[in-house]
Amino acid sequence: MTYRVCFVCTGNICRSPMAESVFRARVAEAGLDGLVEIDSAGTGGWHEGDPADPRTVSVLEEHGYDGGHTARQFQPSWFARLDLVIALDVGHLKALRRLAPSPEDAAKVRLLRSYDPAADDELDVPDPYYGGRDGFEECLEMVEAASTGLLTAVREQVEGQAA
């Protein structure tokens, strides 16, 4: 049985595609790529059909990740097929929980940085869109740090399904 994870930010061109790419690489390194499906979307549809922001693509590729991506908007109907919905900040977390058709679906929504044991009380991954390239580098560092803990949690779920 496939375990499905979707990363969600605002427009699906910066943070969530970055998280999707990093986590896809972590899952492949762990040998779970046939068992875990990774996706991303935005809470809004402003960039639907667009590629990831060029700065996102550049930072990802410089660090050895795939930068290919097409933006799309998260749909409430997706909750039925998803196991975990990863919000990149508290605003997304609240928006996604409001969209959830049931309390069980709302419980599927978690903040990415909640998986980073070194994260302080600030669990948002800041939106780098309006800043310079350094914001994209910072975003990547936060995503990478949280991906290790997220992989551990997903691995436990996948192994639990297989048992």
Q: Is the pLDDT of residue 113 over 70?
A: yes
Q: How far is CA 160 from CA 3, 71, 107, 153, 154, in A?
A: 11, 32, 18, 11, 10
Give per-residue pLDDT as tens, 53-108.
999 999 999 999 999 999 999 999 999 999 999 999 999 999 999 999 999 999 99
Strand order in the sheet with 84-87: 36-42, 3-9, 84-87, 109-111
pLDDT of residue 163: 62
Question: How many CB atoms within 10 Å of residue 6?
Answer: 25
Residue spans per domain, the chain: 3-162
- Place 1 in a pLDDT band, splitting at 50, 70 and 90: confident
Mean pLDDT (whole number) for 3-32: 98
* pTM of the predicted protein model: 0.97
Count CB atoms within 10 A of the CB of residue 63.
16
Task: Please state the CATH superfamily assignment of the domain spanning residues 3-162 in this structure.
Answer: Response regulator (3.40.50.2300)
Which active-site residues does the annotation give? 9, 15, 127
